[in-house]
Amino acid sequence: MALTILHLRWDVSGDEAYDALGRALPEDDRRPPECLSRRHVRHPRAVMVYEVWDDARAAGSELDRVRAELGAGPDAPQRVAFSVPEYFAAGFGQRPRAARPADAGTPAVPAPREPEAAPAPAPVP
């Protein structure tokens, strides 16, 4: 399983809009347990929110909740998402999770295949 990194750009200006965003997306211990890190960076016309999640579905659900709470349009926020291997969780003071039940039956490394027979060499004229 991989960590999901979200870069969100919320086009907000003014203290009231920034405060509403801060209440909807807390940086402290009130964030969801699957969110390993969340940071706000305020710019004159936007707020950048950087999040690290250990569960992509939870990240999507949280984004849907926040968009509904803030009355955001279909294109808000602008977002970029990518993933990194789960062992990077150590950088956030977390231990990588054990295999989840859905993954438990899948071996981490598949069994090796038998080598295929080499094709016969082509005749040389």
Q: Element (H or E) spanning 85, and its range? A: strand 78-85
Classify burial at 64, counting beta carbons within 10 Å of its beta carbon; exposed 0-12, middle 13-18, buried 19 or more.
Answer: exposed
Residue type, 92: F
Q: Could you tell me the two tokens for 37?
A: 């890190």
User: Which pLDDT tens digit goes with each residue over 55-66?
Assistant: 889 998 998 888
DSSP code for 21 = H
DSSP code for 88 = G
Average pLDDT across the chain, whole number = 81
Domain boundaries, the chain: 2-86
Q: Could you tell me the two tokens for 78?
A: 């602008």
Q: What is the DSSP code string of 102-114?
A: GGTTS-SSPPPPP
In percent, the amount of the chain with pLDDT more than 70 equals: 85
- Biggest CA pair distance of the chain: 82
Architecture of domain 2-86: 2-Layer Sandwich (3.30)
pLDDT above 80: residue 124: yes
User: Which pLDDT tens digit goes with each residue over 32-87?
Assistant: 989 989 999 998 888 999 999 988 899 989 988 888 988 887 778 888 888 888 77
